[in-house]
Amino acid sequence: MKKALITGIGGQDGSILAELLLQKGYEVYGIIKREAIENPNLKLKNIASIVNEVELIPMSVTDPMAVYKAIKKIHPDEIYHLAASSFVSYEFEDEVAMMNSNFNSTYYLLSSILEINKDCKFFFAGSSEMFGEPFESPQSENSKFNPKSMYGIAKVSSYYLLKNFRDKKGLYTCTGIMYNHESPRRKSEFVTKKIIETAVRIKLGRAKELVLGNLDAVRDWGYAPDYMNAALLIMSQPKPDDYIIATGHLHSVKQFAETAFSLLDLKVDDYIKINTKYFRASENYPLCGNPEKLKGLGWSTSKSFTEIIKMMIEEELTNQTN
């Protein structure tokens, strides 16, 4: 039986990936923060249904000795490094903490497998933030990086680390450069979940308005389980490589909100208020990924933009009425 180690198993992506790996018959190990064990109702929500089927390791990926010991003990066949501080600040706050969790952790994991288990395959969750302010749109694997946040810089640095461990040391390492991907497990800070939660509250008479930033902002939004299936597909190739994981389609925040409200038989214009505090610097070229290379492996998306919104609404309605 193959063993997979997931960092960040309690998050949206980690929990979805754990379910997929269990379905494939893997033994699944997951690194989670110690505080998650202390506050299981809140922090282990996403993995509540599989908590007895996976082995959880409470530790920090920023602790090199703990990382080394975990890999020595488990001897995983595959590692999926998804843990990250996902708060993207363009103000450059907390740079050291960001580098610790999003770059040093990658180094500790890679150097441990180099030492202990060179055959272990390694997947790293890259991000469209690596392109930051892109020079072209859509972006492909050959587009130039231009990160504009510490988060993006840490992701680009990890990407190059993986590439060097692959080219120079022969490790099987792959970066999936993932664009925004959503599911009912998305955290409320993201605009998609914020819209869905508030729209459902309005529908149930518990809220009166939805305050947003720039409605014309566009994103390439995909469905999180499709992106985790892409990670598995990438890791099953004979040769390691890097791939863009995206839909290639752009939608605006306004379109997202309109679709969500209309699925609830509400008129979005009756409820939206704009607050410039949510505005970000404008982009010359939008963050839109070109998934052609990944499609060449046989990957495709399973849900349309509207279908993603519909399923997020259905789950939110169930949660808020229970």
Rounded to 5 degrees, what angle do the CA atoms 245, 250, 251 make?
A: 130
53 is catalytic: no
129 is catalytic: yes
Nearer to ligand GDP, 113 or 191 (CB): 191
Per annotation, catalytic residue among 19, 78, 129, 258? 129
Nearer to ligand GDP, 22 or 88 (CB): 88
Tokens 């996403």, residue located: 46
**Which backbone phi and psi does 240 adopt, to 5 degrees?**
-75, 145
Nearer to ligand GDP, 169 or 208 (CB): 208
Least separation, in Å, of the C-beta of 189 and ligand GDP?
6
Number of neighbouring beta carbons within 10 Å of residue 292: 13
Least separation, in Å, of the C-beta of 168 and ligand GDP?
32
Per annotation, catalytic residue among 86, 101, 105, 127? 127
Least separation, in Å, of the C-beta of 305 and ligand GDP?
14
Cα dihedral sign, 113-165-109-221: negative
Nearer to ligand GDP, 105 or 128 (CB): 128
Point out which residues bind ligand GDP (CB under 6 A).
Answer: 88, 180, 189-192, 194, 212-214, 217, 219, 253, 278, 280
Token readout for 277 is: 């505090």
Nearer to ligand GDP, 95 or 189 (CB): 189
Least separation, in Å, of the C-beta of 214 and ligand GDP?
5
Least separation, in Å, of the C-beta of 62 and ligand GDP?
22
Tokens 């972006």, residue located: 139
Number of neighbouring beta carbons within 10 Å of residue 63: 15
**Which backbone phi and psi does 11 adopt, to 5 degrees?**
-85, 180
Nearer to ligand GDP, 109 or 288 (CB): 288
Per annotation, catalytic residue among 26, 29, 108, 151? 151
Least separation, in Å, of the C-beta of 272 and ligand GDP?
10
Least separation, in Å, of the C-beta of 3 and ligand GDP?
32
Distance (Å, rounded) from C-alpha 162 to C-alpha 170?
10
236 is catalytic: no
Nearer to ligand GDP, 30 or 152 (CB): 152
Which residues are known catalytic residues? 127, 129, 151
